[in-house]
Amino acid sequence: MDPSKRRSRPPQVPQHWGPALIWIALLIAAGVLVAVFLDSGVGIARQIPTSWAHLIKAAVVLIVGGIVSRILERRIFSQSFDKLGAQRSTALRYMTRLLLFVVISVAVLTAFGVGLPSVIFGGTFLTVIIGLAGQTIFSNIVGGLWLIFFRPFHIGDTIGLVAWQYPVLMPSFPHEAMRPLYVGRVLDINLMYTEIMNQDGYPQLIPNGIIAQSFIENRSQIGVRRVRMRFDMANETPPAMFTDRLRGLLAAEFSEEPEFMPEVYVQDIYPTAYSVVVCVYSSEKEDAIRDRVLTHAIDISTALRGQDGKAQLAD
């Protein structure tokens, strides 16, 4: 079983909105009461400096907003997945998180004494946006929106990512250069990260901004693909006979249509060996194809060397 498919969502238990709405109303009422008390200038509030009052109101907004967001997420997310499907549910979750993030951010700015019209329409809002534009948080939010609306892949798809931010060491000689491909099944897209279950069964969180800039390979679209591999053979193995036999065996196994015939040819030569490049077209997994090709190559090489040894003995 593919490790990337091991994680499954638990059965969703129906949630009642009554208690959740009561808690949300109580939390908002408590936050409003604290803000009104701080602005009233009565009793202890009169002795609190204005800057401290703004800081306390901002902290209250963050605490109340965080708890309310958590309650809403649990209720909305627990009911939407089965009814809407994976892709629509993810889009709903993302937009809900984004809306809550914007509302809490505006509320915090307002708590610091910035008027709401100035926050939304004035230079303050533009300054905040421009200030965040070059930051990681904003780039991840925009990257998440890009993934939600343009849909380069769907929830549940197995994808491969090539990103310059995550380089890997080049393979040793004689293999050719390989793409630094990270493969996994998409589980979720939140404000900051896309959650992927890799082929080893480990969850990975990749920033949305990086995925938006990456080369994305959707491996859920099953079709005929080319598998290219390169390996060396000793000069004692006759190249013409080796390539002809290997080409014949691969053609019998993999060639379903004329345009997808396997390709086998000599790529390079060295003092003691020569390189062989093989291209096979198939919908099978790459590792399985490599195993079959290399197994045939070993068998053919062994047989040719045995024939050559018998010929030398006969001479």
Tell me the pLDDT band of 11, cut-offs 50, 70 and 90: very low
125 pLDDT exceeds 60? no
222 pLDDT exceeds 60? yes
The reported pLDDT for the residue numbered 12 is 47
Q: What's the pLDDT tens digit per position in 187-196? A: 988 888 999 9
Q: How far is the C-alpha of 167 from the C-alpha of 125, rounded, in Å? A: 37
Higher pLDDT, 308 or 245: 245
In CATH terms, 225-314 corresponds, of 3.30.70, 1.10.287, 2.40.50, 1.20.1050, to 3.30.70
The mean-pLDDT minimum among 2-11, 44-53, 132-141, 208-217 falls in: 2-11
315 pLDDT exceeds 70? no
The reported pLDDT for the residue numbered 265 is 93
Q: What's the pLDDT tens digit per position in 239-296? A: 999 999 999 999 888 866 667 889 999 988 989 999 999 999 888 888 888 999 999 9
116 pLDDT exceeds 80? no
Say yes or no: domain 158-218 is CATH 2.30.30: yes
Q: How far is the C-alpha of 100 from the C-alpha of 176, rounded, in Å? A: 48
Q: How far is the C-alpha of 193 from the C-alpha of 204, rounded, in Å? A: 9
Q: Buried (b) or exposed (e) across 31-62, using 16+ Cβ within 10 A?
A: beebbebbeeeeeeeeeeeeeebbebbbebbe
Q: Output the six-digit token pair for 101.
A: 């993030």
Q: In terms of Cα–Cα distance, which of 229, 243, 288, 283 is closest to 260?
A: 283
The structural domains of the chain, with segments of one domain joined by +, span 10-133, 158-218, 225-314
